[in-house]
Amino acid sequence: MRSLSLAPLALVLACAVAPVPPALAQDKGSVDPKPLPPLAHPEDPKTPAKQLFGRVRTPTTGKAEVIGFYAKGCLAGAIALPVNGPAWQVMRLSRNRNWGHPVLVDTLETLALRAQKAGWPGLLVGDMSQPRGGPMITGHASHQVGLDADIWLTPMPDRELTRREREETSATMVVAKSREDVDPRVWTPGHFAVISTAAKLPNVERIFVNAAIKKALCREAGSDRAWLHKVRPYWGHDYHFHIRLKCPPGETLCKSQPPPPADEGCGKALAWWFRDSVLHPRPPKPPTTPPKVKPKPRPQLTLAGLPPACRAVLAAP
């Protein structure tokens, strides 16, 4: 995209309103979100990029384009996943995060229908991306380029949820209190069906789940195991699973991630997550002497730290 001045941005951000909800699936949203105050100096180069992208309510027009990496980029030409579909409903509407690259929207619609045929009632879709991608004020480090989506581990009910239910219903915890396995009172064949169906989609590169969920998938996969290597254990992800797509073909500004290892990941690598030191880490020992210099806080990502084309995405009308 061509470079644009940030002059129009001040007007856009001064007029924009955006909610300030928590970002986790189990955290509530707001039926009546309060607007963020306008930035006094949005053109200040020290302004965190999340404060800029978090205030833009609409996408750019024109061709869809992924710019940068999953955790350091933005998105042009995003489209919204409809809040209701034949086999999905979007949750936490107040966050305005049901945007993505058209490939992501198409993938979610395909997954919803296929998972329904496989025995999952329908998808409850959590956070995707913001209208122009970019860093978020709350929550995720990734989800910046329109290729990530969170799917709740709660089956969709057989009715349309109210706005209040979409904001206040909690996602379902499927991991046992011990953190060593899934909770057999909650985990169902449907959970296996929806995750395995997602992993078998060709443009899904990886899926993040809690290690206990990965353990259950390894145990229940049977002889059809070619998809298991895509499912990667990670902290959290016990209320939802996280889908990440490959860079779309021909998207030259999209920075890809190395593909996951080819082995199914059900051996030593998975066992590491269940060591006592990992499940129950000891708190760090306090220093014997106070530090001479107080450590500086980690600098926040600014617009200058994103790919140059993100400046044009942000400033576009």
Q: What is the DSSP letter of 229?
A: G
- Asked if residue 156 has pLDDT above 60, the reply is yes
Confidence of residue 18 (pLDDT cuts 50, 70, 90): very low
- Asked if residue 256 has pLDDT above 80, the reply is yes
Q: What is the DSSP letter of 202?
A: T
Cβ atoms of 145 and 129 within 8 Å: the answer is yes
Cβ atoms of 70 and 257 within 8 Å: the answer is yes
pLDDT of 190: 98
- Rounded Cα–Cα distance for residues 180 and 285 (Å): 26
For residue 141, with 0-12 CB atoms within 10 Å meaning exposed, 13-18 middle and 19 or more buried, which class applies?
exposed
Average predicted confidence (pLDDT) for the chain: 91
Cβ atoms of 4 and 311 within 8 Å: the answer is yes
Confidence of residue 24 (pLDDT cuts 50, 70, 90): low
All domains of the chain, ordered by start, with CATH? 7-279+308-315 (3.30.1380.10)
Question: In the predicted model, what is the mean pLDDT of residues 164-187?
Answer: 97
Cβ atoms of 275 and 220 within 8 Å: the answer is no
Cβ atoms of 100 and 81 within 8 Å: the answer is yes
Query: What token pair was written down for 220?
Result: 């229940």
Helix axes 189-199, 102-118, angle to 10 degrees: 140
- Asked if residue 233 has pLDDT above 70, the reply is yes
Query: What token pair was written down for 307?
Result: 């790919």
Strands lying side by side in the sheet with 148-152: 84-85, 88-90, 123-125, 148-152, 240-245, 204-209, 231-233
Enumerate the β-bridge partners of residue 76.
65
- Rounded Cα–Cα distance for residues 155 and 160 (Å): 13
pLDDT of 23: 52
- The more confident residue out of 25 and 312 is 312
- Asked if residue 10 has pLDDT above 90, the reply is no
